[in-house]
């Protein structure tokens, strides 16, 4: 059982499904949807079964597979998951069937909510499945080259989804998304290529004696500080664009506004996590010295992201753009937690990635349902929806409260961990970032108030409550949010060992506050 | 009297020619000569039916022979009295040229939608033109011309002295000038392209020859190995040496289409019949890069520290100028011409590395780029409206909806050009960039990466036009002709395989490059 290539299967299955769906005859749209849904459910079930076999006290990377892929470049088909990667894989594969369910009719009316030019429905679902394969691959890759391949391969389906099935400005948004990501990716490529000659150096000069891209070998390599800083920057810029952090976040609102809702859940919920996951995994572990060197700037950018994203979110008039800016703010928290380099901060950040995926996913899905009903995304076009659609309003409130990290819902736990973990080492950033929590209350509650309360807005007369399909798409996510809000321990148990590995590589033990409250930093820093 | 003549005759040794080892060149040129005889002795109706199988047989036989040599013939040495090198890299390049030429031949032989004029001598727009077209004539001289050109191409990277190289250059170029002027539609544009190509080509040949003369003055020989040895002894005039190298480089870089010697490329690529453009974008680029590699790696290896900075500069402006100018193009063939210029820059990045890794990376890149190019141009020949091929980018709007398969295939080739992972373009770029980083040319790689990002913009723009815009009412139709479709399928298969499972070809390139060129 342990030899079963779980991860390869989890990558191959959606890919095969994608091809199968794409090859279905024209006009069999219903069959295409059913096939896609069935495949994604099977993948999700398989992943959960695999996850039950994960041993929290065992080796760091589990379910590993290592085969040569391109020997000439030292590249392996190397897969394996540690705790952080495992929970992110689970997040991806659980979201996909729900997204398919939620966007059952999205492709039918793509190209703007008003005039629907007919687009190929089966292609939409094939692209979602192809994206799923790349998402699992990117988190499961333990070879830096393979990671890069999945990192870039992910862009293509998303590009076509936004460009073909998005709103009026879809091609602008799609090209902007692709060019931002590609530019970051190519900078990372320079760093990836550079790793090869570094690892090929003889062991006496700090290399590994043989060119390789295996993460588990590269993270023991010594890189001289100047080179490490350049390499770190190559990776970091790519991940910052992906995450997205201020000032390279501007693609996200456009992509969010134009993208079909279902795909948007995957873009913000999962794709962007690749950025923060990459920082935690590659930036910190491959170049620990450079990461410490960059920490002040990164923390400053993270705090700016938290506040700037939140302030811009308050000012938005478009529902999807609003939620996109809240994500910029949340990603600021995640980066803060990662670069605080404390156990609580990094565990919190990893947990935050999962929680944010579910919470924002639910919020986006519900916003999408609202937009479909009103045929508009402008906040001012809504009002008084609570009376017409109580279930929609109730779920929207829960998802919104999760977004502002209300205690009892899962994001609270992670946000608290991030802030307290940051506070033990970097007080000022933690204190400033806390203001983001207050701003979150403003943007969420004000959005709720304008759309759900008050007198019924014009044009909202015929709005119906959620259908059974829509309820089934959102209910599991809400359930996860509530359960993990009260009992996050199982997930933390999975995450913690890998965070300890990262911190050990960074050589940064947690600071211990003394009686007076001053932070003792290994005796070196007051 | 007679006796003395005989005695003297005995002193003159007949040149020793290793026919078996240079057979691929001989086969191609021989079949070309037979092709000319076919033109003379076979009736007009039967010529096409004879020429096409003959050309195929010649190219495939030469390819097979090259493969056999690659796997069996060792050790490598300079054959034919020092005129031709037989070694790993050369055989790899020759094999690549020959297999790409087979694909180009598929396009050229296409009869469903002919690309060539019925009779080249008929004036454009004249009655004679209409008559010949109505009579269904075919200009079958195309096939022997193609084989002569290919013969020159396989000889060019093998040439071990500069005069042989010059002869090969001319054998390769002259038929190409002619072929460029044979387009069936927009003939004036095609003839203009031919004249431009000829004039500039002749000019660059003169540069090449002048450089050869100066190098002869320096080393006392046109042999590449003799120049190498003269450099090792460091005798002779440095003025002659540097002047000669500079002029020679102009001639070589012209054929590759590197900036600032790229002016001909957009006009010629646009005007030439598209199958010939495909031939130039693949086989000629491979041959030119092969010749460049041989001259720089064999003759000028000791001068590395002098030519590398210049080559850096050329590589940088080639990548940047090619990528930036391509953005403004509205004709799809012109756009791919500038893209080909940018790719010439990437190829130079591999050449600058001057290591076995750089050589093998360049070899792989050439193969990868050649297949994708032929495939892309083949798709262009398929998208047609009433006036022939739909060249203007705006005509491609909504092609993704009209014929999704064709548009997807073209998009895949564009993604390969852009260097997206899991395509051959990515593997190739990775190989040359890796070699460049290893040889300390990291700044060059950073420029290359930025140029790739710029280039991605215009490749993506075509995808946007094809997939995300509404189709026009009178848009072009896709004509799926069997031979063209076969060329597209082969190009696509190679692009996928070289992207997903590149190991066998990388091994071959690495093996070929392991002992570098022979001197």
Render A113-149 in DSSP notation, one character per residue. Answer: SSS-----HHHHHHHHHHHHHHHHHHHHB-BHHHHHH
* Distance in angstroms (rounded) separating the CA atoms of residues A257 and A132: 22
- Inter-chain contact B503–A186, Cβ cutoff 8 Å? no
- Output b/e per residue, B358-397; b: 16+ Cβ within 10 A: bbbbbbbbbbbbbbbbbbbbbbbbbbbeeebbbbebebbb
Judged by a CB distance cut-off of 8 A, whether residue B504 touches chain A is no
Residue A27 distance to chain B (closest CA, Å)? 15
Best residue in B425, B447, B464 for a mutation probing chain A (most A CBs within 10 Å): B464
Measured between CA atoms, the residue of chain A closest to residue B431 is: A73
Cβ-Cβ contacts under 8 Å for A193 (sequence gap 6 or more): B430, B433, B434, B437, B445
Quick one: tokens of B134?
């109505």
Interface A-B: count of C-beta contacts within 8 A: 91
Judged by a CB distance cut-off of 8 A, whether residue A12 touches chain B is no
pLDDT value at residue A109: 58
Half-sphere exposure (Cβ direction) of B86: Cα atoms closer than 13 Å: 26
- Inter-chain contact A120–B450, Cβ cutoff 8 Å? no
Q: Partners of A143 in the beta sheet? A: A214
Measured between CA atoms, the residue of chain B closest to residue A120 is: B401
Tell me the CA distances in angstroms from B200 to B6, B149, B265, one per residue in order: 49, 18, 10
Residue B2 has pLDDT above 60, yes or no: no
Measured between CA atoms, the residue of chain A closest to residue B471 is: A117
Closest to A10 measured CA to CA, from A102, A79, A58: A79
Q: Is A214 helix (H, G, I), strand (E, B) or coil?
A: strand
**Domain presence at residue A516:** yes
CA dihedral A385, A386, A389, A394 (to 10 degrees): 130
* Distance in angstroms (rounded) separating the CA atoms of residues B291 and B336: 23
CB B467 within 8 A of CB A164: yes
Quick one: tokens of A432?
């400033």
Angle at A193 between CA A192 and CA A197, to 5 degrees: 115
- Inter-chain contact B437–A69, Cβ cutoff 8 Å? no
Residue A289: which domain range? 6-520
**Domain presence at residue A414:** yes
* Distance in angstroms (rounded) separating the CA atoms of residues B19 and B253: 31
Angle at A184 between CA A182 and CA A189, to 5 degrees: 90
- Inter-chain contact B438–A170, Cβ cutoff 8 Å? no
* Distance in angstroms (rounded) separating the CA atoms of residues A237 and A229: 12
pLDDT digits (tens, 9 = 90+) for B449-506: 999 989 988 898 899 889 888 887 788 888 888 899 999 999 999 999 999 999 999 9
Using left for φ > 0, alpha for ψ between -120 and 50, and beta otherwise, residue A249 falls in: alpha
Cβ-Cβ contacts under 8 Å for A382 (sequence gap 6 or more): A370, A374, A450, A451, A452, A457, A460
Instruction: Say what the pTM is.
Output: 0.91
| Total number of domains in chain A | 1
* Distance in angstroms (rounded) separating the CA atoms of residues B257 and B322: 10
Quick one: tokens of B247?
């002029």
pLDDT value at residue B12: 75
Mean pLDDT, all residues of chain B: 90
Residue A151 distance to chain B (closest CA, Å)? 9
Q: Please state the domain extents for chain B.
A: 16-124+136-513
- Burial (CB count <10 Å: 0-12, 13-18, 19+), residue A444: buried
Residue A483 distance to chain B (closest CA, Å)? 39
Quick one: tokens of B374?
């032929």
Quick one: tokens of B353?
């590395």
* Distance in angstroms (rounded) separating the CA atoms of residues A504 and A210: 25
Q: Partners of A78 in the beta sheet? A: A66
Cβ-Cβ contacts under 8 Å for A270 (sequence gap 6 or more): A88, A91, A92, A95, A135, A357
Judged by a CB distance cut-off of 8 A, whether residue B465 touches chain A is no
Cβ-Cβ contacts under 8 Å for B338 (sequence gap 6 or more): B265, B266, B322, B323, B325, B326, B329
CA B416 to chain centre: 18
Measured between CA atoms, the residue of chain B closest to residue A172 is: B464
Cβ-Cβ contacts under 8 Å for A332 (sequence gap 6 or more): A245, A246, A302, A303, A304, A305, A306, A307, A309, A433, A436
Cβ-Cβ contacts under 8 Å for B196 (sequence gap 6 or more): B264, B267, B268, B271
Contacts of B418 in chain A (CB under 8 A): 182
Q: Is B388 helix (H, G, I), strand (E, B) or coil?
A: strand
* Distance in angstroms (rounded) separating the CA atoms of residues B338 and B319: 10
Residue B9 has pLDDT above 70, yes or no: no
**Residue length of chain A:** 526
- Inter-chain contact B470–A69, Cβ cutoff 8 Å? no
**Domain presence at residue A170:** yes
Measured between CA atoms, the residue of chain B closest to residue A164 is: B468
pLDDT digits (tens, 9 = 90+) for B306-346: 889 999 999 999 999 999 999 999 999 999 999 999 999 99
- Inter-chain contact B464–A163, Cβ cutoff 8 Å? yes
* Distance in angstroms (rounded) separating the CA atoms of residues B350 and B436: 6
**Residue length of chain B:** 519
**Residue of B421, B467, B503 lying closest to A163 (CB–CB):** B467
pLDDT value at residue B119: 81
Cβ-Cβ contacts under 8 Å for B292 (sequence gap 6 or more): B252, B253, B256, B351
Q: Round the CA-based radius of gyration of chain A to a whole number and report it.
A: 22
Binning chain A into helix, strand and coil, the percentages to the nearest 5 are: 70, 5, 25
Q: Partners of B392 in the beta sheet? A: B331
Judged by a CB distance cut-off of 8 A, whether residue A72 touches chain B is yes
* Distance in angstroms (rounded) separating the CA atoms of residues A389 and A383: 11
- Using the Cα atoms of residue B313, residue B319, residue B325 and residue B329 in order, give the sign of their dihedral: positive
* Distance in angstroms (rounded) separating the CA atoms of residues A248 and A187: 14
End-to-end CA distance of chain B: 43
Quick one: tokens of B146?
């193609």
Judged by a CB distance cut-off of 8 A, whether residue A73 touches chain B is yes
- Which A positions 179-208 lie with beta carbon below 8 A of chain B? 179, 182-183, 186-187, 189-190, 193-194, 196-197, 200
pLDDT tens, per residue, chain A with 526 residues: 467 899 999 999 999 999 999 988 877 888 889 999 999 999 999 999 999 988 888 888 889 999 999 888 889 999 999 999 999 999 999 999 999 998 888 776 544 444 445 577 888 999 999 999 999 999 999 999 999 999 999 999 999 999 888 888 888 999 999 989 988 998 899 999 999 888 888 888 777 888 889 988 888 888 889 999 999 999 999 999 998 898 899 999 999 998 888 889 999 989 999 999 999 999 999 999 999 999 999 999 999 999 999 999 999 999 999 999 999 999 999 999 999 999 999 999 999 999 999 999 999 999 998 888 888 888 888 888 888 888 999 999 999 999 888 888 999 999 999 999 999 999 999 999 999 999 999 999 999 998 888 888 777 777 888 888 888 999 999 999 999 999 999 999 999 999 998 888 888 888 765 555 555 444 444 3
**Domain presence at residue A243:** yes
- Inter-chain contact B464–A70, Cβ cutoff 8 Å? no
Q: Which segments of B317-476 are extended strands (E)?
A: 383-385, 388-389
* Distance in angstroms (rounded) separating the CA atoms of residues A394 and A400: 10
- Inter-chain contact B452–A197, Cβ cutoff 8 Å? no
Quick one: tokens of B258?
């590197």
pLDDT value at residue B467: 87
pLDDT digits (tens, 9 = 90+) for B140-168: 889 999 999 999 999 999 999 999 999 99
CB B435 within 8 A of CB B355: yes
Quick one: tokens of B166?
């010059």
Residue B401 distance to chain A (closest CA, Å)? 8
Residue B71 has pLDDT above 90, yes or no: no
Contacts of A182 in chain B (CB under 8 A): 418, 453, 456
pLDDT value at residue A116: 45
**Domain presence at residue A526:** no
Written in H, E and C, the secondary structure of A22-86 is HHCCCCCHHHHHHHHHHHHHHHHHHHHHHHHCCCCCCCCCEEEEEEEEEHHHCEEEEEEECHHHH
- Burial (CB count <10 Å: 0-12, 13-18, 19+), residue B137: middle
CA B130 to chain centre: 33
- Inter-chain contact B464–A156, Cβ cutoff 8 Å? no
CB A189 within 8 A of CB A178: no
Long-range pairs, B319-325, Cβ under 8 A, ≥24: B319/B345, B319/B346, B319/B349, B319/B447, B319/B448, B319/B451, B320/B345, B320/B447, B320/B450, B320/B451, B320/B454, B321/B259, B321/B262, B322/B259, B322/B262, B322/B451, B322/B455, B323/B451, B323/B452, B323/B454, B323/B455, B323/B458, B324/B454
- Inter-chain contact B510–A72, Cβ cutoff 8 Å? yes
- Burial (CB count <10 Å: 0-12, 13-18, 19+), residue A173: buried
**Residue of A178, A187, A193 lying closest to B434 (CB–CB):** A193
**Domain presence at residue A525:** no
Written in H, E and C, the secondary structure of A148-168 is HHHHHHCHHHHHHHHHHHCCC
Query: Cβ atoms within 10 A of the Cβ of B298, count?
Result: 21
* Distance in angstroms (rounded) separating the CA atoms of residues B52 and B143: 7
Judged by a CB distance cut-off of 8 A, whether residue B56 touches chain A is no
Residue B36 distance to chain A (closest CA, Å)? 45
Angle at A109 between CA A105 and CA A110, to 5 degrees: 105
Q: Is the ipTM of this complex over 0.85?
A: yes
**Domain presence at residue A115:** yes
- Which B positions 404-433 lie with beta carbon below 8 A of chain A? 404, 415, 418, 420-422, 426-427, 430-431, 433
**Residue of A164, A186, A197 lying closest to B453 (CB–CB):** A186
pLDDT band at B427 (very low <50, low <70, confident <90, very high): very high
pLDDT value at residue A491: 92
- Inter-chain contact B467–A160, Cβ cutoff 8 Å? yes
End-to-end CA distance of chain A: 52
Judged by a CB distance cut-off of 8 A, whether residue A472 touches chain B is no
- Inter-chain contact A183–B420, Cβ cutoff 8 Å? no
pLDDT digits (tens, 9 = 90+) for A131-157: 999 999 999 999 999 999 999 999 999
Judged by a CB distance cut-off of 8 A, whether residue A165 touches chain B is no
pLDDT value at residue A118: 59
**Domain presence at residue A358:** yes
């Amino acid at each position: 059982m342990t030899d079963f290539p779980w991860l390869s299967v989890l990558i191959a299955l959606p890919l095969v499904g994608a091809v199968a769906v794409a090859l279905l005859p024209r006009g069999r749209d219903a069959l295409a949807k059913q096939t896609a849904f069935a495949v994604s459910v099977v993948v999700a079930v398989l992943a959960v079964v695999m996850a039950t076999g994960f041993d929290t006290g065992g080796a760091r990377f589990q379910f590993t597979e290592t085969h040569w892929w391109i020997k000439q470049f030292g590249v392996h088909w190397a897969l394996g998951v540690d705790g952080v990667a495992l929970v992110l894989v689970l997040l991806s594969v659980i979201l996909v069937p729900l997204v398919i369910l939620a966007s059952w009719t999205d492709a039918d009316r793509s190209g703007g909510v008003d005039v629907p030019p007919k687009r190929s429905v089966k292609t939409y679902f094939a692209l979602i499945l192809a994206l799923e394969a790349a998402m699992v691959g990117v988190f499961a890759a333990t070879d830096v080259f393979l990671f890069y391949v999945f990192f870039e391969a992910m862009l293509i389906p998303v590009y076509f989804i936004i460009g073909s099935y998005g709103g009026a400005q879809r091609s602008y948004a799609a090209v902007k998304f692709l060019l931002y990501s590609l530019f970051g990716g190519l900078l990372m490529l320079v760093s990836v290529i550079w790793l090869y000659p570094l690892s090929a150096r003889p062991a006496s000069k700090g290399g590994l004696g043989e060119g390789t891209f295996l993460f588990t070998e590269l993270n023991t390599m010594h890189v001289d500080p100047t080179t490490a800083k350049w390499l770190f920057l190559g990776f970091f810029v790519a991940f910052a664009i992906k995450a997205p952090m201020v000032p390279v976040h501007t693609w996200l609102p456009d992509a969010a506004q134009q993208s079909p809702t279902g795909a948007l859940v995957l873009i913000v919920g999962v794709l962007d996590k690749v950025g923060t996951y990459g920082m935690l995994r590659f930036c910190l572990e491959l170049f620990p010295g450079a990461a410490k060197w960059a920490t002040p700037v990164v923390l400053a950018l993270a705090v700016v992201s938290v506040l700037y994203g939140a302030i811009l979110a308050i000012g938005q008039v478009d529902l999807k753009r609003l939620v996109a800016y809240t994500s910029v703010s949340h990603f600021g928290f995640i980066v803060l937690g990662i670069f605080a380099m404390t156990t609580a901060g990094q565990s919190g950040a990893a947990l935050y990635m999962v929680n944010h995926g579910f919470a924002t996913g639910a919020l986006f899905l519900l916003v999408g349902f609202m937009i479909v009903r009103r045929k508009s995304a402008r906040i001012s076009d809504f009002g008084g929806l609570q009376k017409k659609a109580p279930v929609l309003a109730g779920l929207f409130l829960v998802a919104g409260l999760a977004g502002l990290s209300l205690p009892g819902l899962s994001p609270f736990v992670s946000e608290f961990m991030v802030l307290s973990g940051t506070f033990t080492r970097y007080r000022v950033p933690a204190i400033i970032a806390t203001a983001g929590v207050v701003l979150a209350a403003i943007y969420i509650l004000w959005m709720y108030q304008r759309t759900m309360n008050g007198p019924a807005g014009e044009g909202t007369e015929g709005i119906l409550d959620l259908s059974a399909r829509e309820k089934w798409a959102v209910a599991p996510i809400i359930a996860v949010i509530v359960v993990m809000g009260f009992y996050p321990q199982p997930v933390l148990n999975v995450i913690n060992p890998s965070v300890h590995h990262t911190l050990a590589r960074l050589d940064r033990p947690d600071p211990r506050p003394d009686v007076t409250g001053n932070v003792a930093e290994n005796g070196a820093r007051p | 009297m007679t006796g003395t003549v005989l005695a003297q005759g005995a002193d003159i040794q007949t040149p020793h020619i290793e026919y078996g080892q240079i057979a691929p060149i001989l086969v191609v040129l021989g079949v070309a000569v037979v092709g000319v005889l076919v033109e003379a002795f076979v009736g007009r109706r039967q010529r096409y039916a004879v020429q096409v199988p003959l050309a195929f047989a010649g190219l495939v036989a030469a390819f097979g022979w090259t493969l056999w040599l690659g796997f069996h013939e060792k050790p490598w040495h300079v054959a034919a009295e020092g005129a031709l090198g037989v070694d790993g890299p050369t055989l790899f390049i020759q094999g690549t040229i020959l297999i790409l030429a087979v694909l180009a031949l598929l396009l050229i032989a296409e009869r469903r939608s002919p690309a060539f004029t019925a009779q080249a001598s008929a004036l454009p727009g004249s009655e004679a033109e209409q008559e010949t077209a109505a009579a269904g004539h075919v200009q079958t001289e195309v096939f022997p011309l193609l084989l002569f050109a290919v013969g020159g191409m396989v000889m060019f990277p093998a040439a071990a002295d500069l005069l042989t190289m010059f002869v090969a250059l001319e054998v390769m170029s002259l038929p190409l000038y002619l072929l460029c002027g044979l387009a069936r539609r927009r003939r004036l544009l095609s003839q203009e392209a031919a004249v431009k190509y000829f004039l500039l080509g002749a000019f660059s040949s003169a540069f090449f020859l002048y450089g050869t003369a100066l190098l002869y003055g320096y080393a006392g020989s046109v042999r590449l190995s003799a120049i190498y040895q003269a450099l090792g002894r460091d005798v002779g005039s440095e003025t002659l040496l540097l002047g000669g190298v500079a002029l020679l480089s102009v001639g070589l870089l012209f054929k590759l289409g590197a900036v600032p010697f790229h002016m001909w490329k957009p006009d010629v690529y646009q005007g030439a019949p598209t199958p010939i453009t495909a031939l130039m974008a693949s086989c000629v680029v491979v041959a030119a890069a092969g010749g460049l590699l041989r001259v720089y790696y064999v003759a000028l290896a000791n001068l590395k520290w002098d030519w590398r900075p210049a080559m850096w500069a050329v590589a940088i402006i080639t990548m940047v100028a090619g990528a930036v100018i391509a953005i403004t193009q509205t004709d799809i063939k012109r756009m791919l011409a500038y893209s080909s210029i940018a790719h010439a820059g990437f190829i130079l990045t591999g050449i600058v590395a001057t290591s076995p890794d750089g050589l093998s990376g360049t070899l792989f890149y050439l193969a990868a780029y050649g297949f994708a190019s032929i495939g892309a141009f083949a798709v262009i020949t398929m998208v047609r409206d009433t006036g022939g091929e739909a060249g203007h980018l705006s005509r491609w709007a909504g092609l993704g909806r009209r014929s999704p398969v064709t548009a997807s295939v073209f998009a895949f080739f564009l993604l390969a050009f852009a260097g997206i992972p899991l395509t051959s373009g990515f593997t190739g770029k990775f190989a040359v960039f890796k070699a460049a980083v290893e040889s300390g040319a990291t700044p060059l790689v950073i420029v290359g990466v930025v140029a790739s990002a710029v280039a991605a913009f215009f490749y993506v723009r075509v995808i946007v036009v094809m997939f995300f815009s509404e189709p026009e009412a009178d848009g072009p139709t896709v004509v799926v002709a069997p031979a063209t479709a076969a060329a597209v399928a082969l190009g696509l298969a190679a692009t996928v395989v070289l992207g997903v499972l590149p190991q066998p070809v990388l091994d071959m390139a690495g093996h070929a490059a392991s002992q570098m060129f022979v001197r």
